[in-house]
Structure 1
């Protein structure tokens, strides 16, 4: 049963990647006050697929926290959420690659205000760490108090 589930998720990821559109956002500032971002560099499509699986598994957590992943692979950046994978515009791709090159081996958490909230070590970071940190943020606290 688990193998069937993994096969379906892998098929979903391959289909999403094969049918991607270019996201027309041209700057990280366009996400400001709309989404939190995780910026990650991966080295293979297998790692990309694994991250898509994690996003799918945690889709309600991502949606609830307004969280998207920007994933760079082979100098190309993808926006991933629970249902889609889209490549970004050349301008945004350039910005993401610049940030990644300044923060090698790190996963960056960008807050709703557009500021870097944390730099996690890529080899040891977990989504649970990110979710816990977001839940402690003032913007998140105000949302849950309402």
Structure 2
């Protein structure tokens, strides 16, 4: 279910089928991740509409996932997930959070207070670079 949300969320940005096929394996949430890392879901009316995953060792949190079902976009749920991720990271005593963002989501993260600190190569498309962001906690 989480992988489906992740895939549909990525597809929301209008990527072509070839790109989405390349991304499919990268968007699988493996069962061991649910035990090894912090994965929190957001439910609305008993339906999961989004989730995030935190990884990392203190002082650096890594916001590895933050995905929202496309039908829930634009209703404030992304902000709710973000705020929960920030509070969870603070509660664990992380000092800052790193986000490897989809280019289309960079605006959301910067609106939430993150700043761009660089870029990383995409694993799905050779030559595409993804924004790397940071927010101090």
Tell me the TM-score normalised to structure 2 length: 0.28
- Structure possessing the higher relative contact order (Cα contacts under 8 Å, 6 or more residues apart): 1
Task: Determine which structure has the larger strand proportion and give its number.
Answer: 2
Tell me the TM-score normalised to structure 1 length: 0.27
Task: Determine which structure has the larger helix proportion and give its number.
Answer: 1
